[in-house]
Structure 1
Amino acid sequence: MIDPQRPNQNGDFVNDARQELAGMLKDGLSHPSTKPVLIWGAAGAVAGALLPFVSLGLGLAAGAGYQFYKRVRPD
């Protein structure tokens, strides 16, 4: 299924992720993926601050990375 928000999606994860990241960097907060990725990154940072043996940076990267992956591969 082709998402109308992502007309260039071709099934190659690396290429799709590169295009999504380039769109996020180009459009900033007006891109539909930027806000969810930032929110999940912040939630991951909070979880990382609360959990023992998990740092703030690791939580941020895990939360943002998870949401970015789900934006590129919603299946």
Structure 2
Amino acid sequence: MNDQDPRQGPDWVEDVKTEVTGMAKEGINHPSTGPVLTGAAIGAVAGLVLPIVSWPVGLLAGAGFALYQRIKK
């Protein structure tokens, strides 16, 4: 018997793969594209403001966090 949440197991890699593939195929029409792009923009701005983090690192971190938020729902 498996009592754990299915999104907490190793299937999260498949969830991410499915989400990213859907975003690549559907482009801006995919429901996750907008939030992920917004997260990337916020991360890039934070990377510009913070002295230790550059904007590409902030962009990737923001996009990754936004994607994670979409997947865990």
TM over 0.5: yes
Letter in 2 for 1:37: V
Q: Percent identity?
A: 51
Distance 1:31 1:43 in 2: 20
Q: CA deviation at 1:30?
A: 0.2
TM-score under structure 1 length normalisation: 0.82
Q: CA deviation at 1:51?
A: 0.5
Larger CA Rg, structure 1 vs 2: 2
Q: CA deviation at 1:44?
A: 0.5
Query: Which residue in the other structure is 1:49 paired with?
Result: 48
Aligned structure 1 segments of 4 or more residues deviating by more than 3 angstroms: none
Q: Which runs of 5+ in 1 are unaligned?
A: 1-9
Higher relative helix content: 2
Letter in 2 for 1:61: L
CA RMSD of aligned residues (A): 1.0
Matched, 1:26 2:8: no
Q: Which runs of 5+ in 2 are unaligned?
A: 1-5
